[in-house]
Structure formats: structure tokens, C-alpha cells
């Protein structure tokens, strides 16, 4: 079973973050500060502590602001640029990363969204999950709003999309951390590219769900997982009020014992 320390991490951070613009001005949303530190800083530090092997970040909007920050956090980081973030979705960003690796694409990749606040328990759960073509980390419902639901049966994913949680069968709420094997990544990129410019705006989770018909894509549901995706001011307020204090308490308890 591969551990997180043996995995390459790609952080998808090309989004424009339009709903956060009043709070961050011209900065990309991964440079939003939560508790005095940026999201990208917290994420990279968390990954390094867990045993990061290598890191690729796909930047887009405000890419130049990322470069000095990322070099300071992880000197060996590879920065891939999505030069049309207004027109391209996160699947195009992931495709650009995979294509940049070429023949050196890792055997397995941890895909992380750039606007997340999460703890060591999320990485631990993913690293301990049974092997499959892809493992999608899910939580029980957070009530944060704007949720993306992972649907399927017996742990197998069939769809990932927004909508009503009341429409069965919902396995869990998408967190934004996913383990994907090389063969599944290549299948995702190939089918995405076959869609041409009509597929440019699709999200990586939509393409992952699309290849789940021929590959084993499983949902890993962690009840009570403490995390936040931050897309707007309401998400930020929840993160500062509820999520960050619990993550800091967990970190302090781990350091003490």
C-alpha cells in the first residue's frame, strides 16, 4: 500500500476566486489568509509534515504572485501555468500537469484543491485507504453550503456533482483531496482532450466520475472530518469560527502526545 510520502502531489490553484475578490483583491484565492496564514502555506506545510515527495502546483489567475511564495515553501516545486483560467476548468489544469510530466508521470498522485483547509486526519485516511484506481475523500455533510455530492452504491462512485443531498444515493460530501493512479489519470486526460474545447470548462471530479464506469473509483467517507473549502465570505467565516480552532487543537494534541 503506497503511503503519502511516496506520492507526488498536484495542487490545483488556477481559479479566479471571483466570489472572494472583495477580500483578496487581485490575489489568487489560494493566497487568502486564514488565521494569519495563507491557504497554500497551510496546505504545503501539512503535506511536508506528512512526508511530501514532490509537488506540482497549477497556477493561473495571479500566477506571478504564486512564484516567490511557492519557492519559499517548497524550493523544488514545479509550477505549471493554466494561461486561460477564465475559460478553463480544473480538469484542464490537471491535464496540463499530467502532460507536463510526460513519461515521468508518477504511479499515483494526490490531487488537492487549492482552496482547502484540512488536517492531518484527512491525509492519514487517504494514505491508509485500500488501493483502487482512484479514492475520493468524502465527509459526512458539513452544512457549509455550495456542497458537491459524491453518489454511488456500495462505495463505488457513479457521479460527483452539486445538487440536492436528498436525491439518493449520496455516499458523502466531496472534500477536494483525491488519490488517482497513473492509468486512471491518463484515461481522464485522454477523454477530456477528446472532448475538445467543449470540455474546457469541466471540473476534474466530473471527468473522474465519467471514467468510473470502466475503472474502480471508490469513495472514502470519514464521518466528522474537520475541513473547509473556501469560496466566499461565508465559507471563510465558518473556517475561522469552527474549522481552524479544531484543526489547531488537533495539531497541539498530536504534538503533545
The per-residue pLDDT for range 167-192, each reduced to its tens digit, is 779 999 999 999 999 999 999 999 99
pLDDT band at 85 (very low <50, low <70, confident <90, very high): confident
What pLDDT, on the 0 to 100 scale, is given for residue 251? 92
pLDDT band at 21 (very low <50, low <70, confident <90, very high): confident
Q: Which of the two residues, 181 and 65, has the higher pLDDT score?
A: 181
Q: What string of H, E and C letters represents the secondary structure of the chain? A: CCCHHHCEEEEEECCCCHHHHHHHCCCCHHHCEECCEEHHHHHHHHHHHHCCCEEEEEEECEHHHHHHHHHHHCCCCEEEECCCCCCCCHHHHHHHHHHHHHHHCCCEEEEEECCEEECHHHHHHHHHCCCCCEEEEEECCCCCCCCCEEEEECCEEEEEECCCCCCCCEEEEEEEEEEEEHHHHHHHHHHHHHCHHHHCCCCHHHHHHHHCCCCCEEEEEECCCCEEECCCHHHHHHHHHHHHHHHHHHHHHHHHC
Residue 88 reports pLDDT greater than 70: yes
pLDDT band at 2 (very low <50, low <70, confident <90, very high): very low
> Which CATH number characterizes residue 110's domain?
3.90.550.10
The boundaries of the domain holding residue 117 are 4-256
Tell me the pLDDT of the chain averaged across its residues: 92
* Cα–Cα distance for residue pair 209/205, rounded to 1 Å: 6
Residue 122 reports pLDDT greater than 50: yes
Q: Total structural domains in the chain?
A: 1
Rounded to two decimals, the pTM is 0.94
Residue 5 reports pLDDT greater than 80: no
Residue 18 reports pLDDT greater than 90: no
What pLDDT, on the 0 to 100 scale, is given for residue 6? 59
Residue 1 reports pLDDT greater than 50: no
Amino acid at each position: 500500500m503506497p503511503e503519502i510520502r511516496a506520492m507526488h502531489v498536484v495542487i490545483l490553484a488556477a481559479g479566479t476566486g471571483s466570489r472572494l475578490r472583495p477580500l483578496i483583491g487581485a490575489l489568487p484565492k489560494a493566497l487568502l489568509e486564514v488565521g494569519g496564514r495563507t491557504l497554500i502555506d497551510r496546505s504545503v506545510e501539512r503535506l511536508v509534515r506528512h512526508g511530501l515527495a514532490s509537488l506540482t502546483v497549477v497556477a493561473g489567475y495571479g500566477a506571478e504572485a504564486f512564484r516567490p511564495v511557492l519557492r519559499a515553501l517548497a524550493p523544488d516545486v514545479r509550477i505549471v501555468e493554466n494561461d486561460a483560467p477564465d475559460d478553463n476548468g480544473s480538469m484542464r489544469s490537471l491535464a496540463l500537469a499530467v502532460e507536463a510530466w510526460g513519461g515521468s508521470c508518477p504511479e499515483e498522485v494526490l490531487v488537492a484543491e487549492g482552496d482547502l483547509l484540512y488536517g492531518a486526519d484527512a491525509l492519514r485516511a487517504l494514505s491508509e485507504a485500500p488501493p483502487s484506481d482512484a479514492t475520493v475523500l468524502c465527509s459526512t455533510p458539513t452544512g457549509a453550503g455550495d456542497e458537491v455530492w459524491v453518489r454511488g452504491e456500495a462505495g463505488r462512485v457513479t457521479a460527483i456533482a452539486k445538487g440536492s443531498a436528498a436525491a439518493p444515493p449520496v455516499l458523502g460530501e466531496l472534500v477536494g483531496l483525491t488519490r488517482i493512479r497513473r492509468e486512471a489519470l491518463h484515461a481522464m486526460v485522454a477523454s477530456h482532450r477528446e472532448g475538445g474545447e467543449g470540455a474546457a470548462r469541466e471540473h476534474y471530479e466530473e471527468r473522474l466520475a465519467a471514467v468510473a464506469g470502466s475503472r474502480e473509483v471508490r469513495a472514502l467517507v470519514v464521518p466528522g472530518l474537520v475541513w473547509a473549502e473556501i469560496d466566499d465570505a461565508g465559507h471563510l467565516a465558518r473556517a475561522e469560527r469552527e474549522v481552524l480552532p479544531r484543526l489547531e487543537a488537533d495539531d497541539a494534541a498530536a504534538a503533545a502526545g
